[in-house]
């Protein structure tokens, strides 16, 4: 059974940093691209970042470029999102998601972790 | 960026009814479209990919169709467990973008 378990969320002040982790199990982690998708309270879904199966390629939405860094440790089957210079508009639930086998859709999602940016 | 417009934003239907949700892309996305279901307080779950392929374990009452810029999700014989929000997503071109969502309730 595919499982994705996020951790690391919480309350953080504007301008500070936070690192999210996603522990994967139930599949061969280094065979799949992985992504982070966020959802602001009572809002829709927004793709944040994607990393290729081997970590060689990364992609970001414009609003987080230069502030967020997606990375992975295939030996530990873990995905990360380093978030720097956080803003109030980054407040959201962040989901870890597995990339689809036939395209850049997301076939399995974690339960999500809440990040609140506020003073 | 490709804009995804979903309609309706909310929908009320009766048990056993057939429901259709539409998604329009701002340009041709060549069937690079997925549909997700998100139940209250839960994470999204993939229903459909490549516009019309059913994801593993998804009931056959869900189906997807469309081409070009116009796509739809159909739910046959609505069940109580289908109460949820539904989102489309294009993955034809970076950045990947989602529709605003359709909230489905029981009448």
Decide if B98 contacts B29 (C-beta within 8 A): no
The residues facing A45 across adjacent strands are A39
- Tens digit of each residue's pLDDT (9 = 90 or more) over A90-104: 999 999 999 998 889
Q: Which residues contact B6 (CB under 8 A, 6 or more apart)?
A: B21, B22, B23, B24, B86, B87, B88, B99, B100, B101, B102
Whole-number pLDDT of residue A102: 86
Q: Compute the distance between CA of residue B87 and CA of residue B102 in angstroms, rounded to an integer.
A: 7
Which tokens go with A24?
A: 């994967």
- Tens digit of each residue's pLDDT (9 = 90 or more) over A63-74: 999 999 999 999
Q: Compute the distance between CA of residue B66 and CA of residue B53 in angstroms, rounded to an integer.
A: 12
Q: Which residues contact B78 (CB under 8 A, 6 or more apart)?
A: B13, B14, B15, B16, B17, B18, B19, B106
**Is some CB atom of chain B closer than 8 A to the CB atom of A36?**
no
Largest CA distance in chain A: 42
**Interface probe, candidates B36, B47, B95, chain A, greatest A C-beta count within 10 A:** B95
A5 has a pLDDT exceeding 90: yes
3-state secondary structure at position B54: strand
Q: Do A47 and B44 touch (CB under 8 A)?
A: no
Q: Do A45 and B98 touch (CB under 8 A)?
A: yes
Mean pLDDT of B75-99: 97
Whole-number pLDDT of residue A103: 86
- Tens digit of each residue's pLDDT (9 = 90 or more) over A19-67: 999 999 999 999 999 999 999 998 999 999 999 999 999 999 999 999 9
Q: Compute the distance between CA of residue B34 and CA of residue A89 in angstroms, rounded to an integer.
A: 26
Which tokens go with A35?
A: 């992504």
**Is some CB atom of chain A closer than 8 A to the CB atom of B55?**
yes
Share of residues in chain B with pLDDT > 90 (%): 100
**Residue B10 CB neighbours (<10 A):** 10
B81 has a pLDDT exceeding 90: yes
pLDDT level of residue B59 (50, 70, 90 thresholds): very high
- Tens digit of each residue's pLDDT (9 = 90 or more) over B21-49: 999 999 999 999 999 999 999 999 999 99
A111 contacts in chain B (CB < 8 Å): 42-43
The residues facing B23 across adjacent strands are B6, B71
Q: How big is the A-B interface in CB pairs under 8 Å? A: 63
Whole-number pLDDT of residue B71: 98
Whole-number pLDDT of residue B43: 97
* CB nearest B91 (choices: A104, A110, A111): A104
Whole-number pLDDT of residue B33: 98
Nearest CA in chain B to A93: B43
Query: Helix %, strand %, coil % for chain A, to 5?
Result: 10, 50, 40
Preceding amide of B8 cis, omega within 30: yes
For residue B52, what is the DSSP state?
T
């Amino acid at each position: 059974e595919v499982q994705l378990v996020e951790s690391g969320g919480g309350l953080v002040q504007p301008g500070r940093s936070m690192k999210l982790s996603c522990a994967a199990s139930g599949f061969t982690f280094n065979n799949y691209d992985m992504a982070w998708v966020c959802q602001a309270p009572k809002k829709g879904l927004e793709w944040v970042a994607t990393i290729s199966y081997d970590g060689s390629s990364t992609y970001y939405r414009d609003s987080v470029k230069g502030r967020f860094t997606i990375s992975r440790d295939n030996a530990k089957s873990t995905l990360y999102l380093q978030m720097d210079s956080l803003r109030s508009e980054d407040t959201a639930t962040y989901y870890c998601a597995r990339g689809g086998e036939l395209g850049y859709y997301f076939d399995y999602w974690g339960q999500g972790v809440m990040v609140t940016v506020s003073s | 960026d490709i804009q995804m417009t979903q309609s309706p934003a909310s929908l009320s239907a009766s048990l056993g009814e057939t429901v259709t949700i539409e998604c329009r892309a701002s340009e041709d996305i060549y069937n690079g479209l997925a549909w997700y279901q998100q139940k209250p307080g839960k994470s999204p779950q993939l229903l459909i990919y490549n516009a019309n392929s059913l994801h593993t374990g998804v009931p056959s009452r869900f189906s997807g169709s469309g081409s070009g810029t116009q796509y739809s999700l159909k739910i046959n014989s609505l069940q109580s467990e289908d109460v949820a929000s539904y989102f489309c997503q294009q993955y034809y071109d970076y950045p990947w973008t989602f529709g605003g969502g359709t909230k489905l309730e029981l009448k």
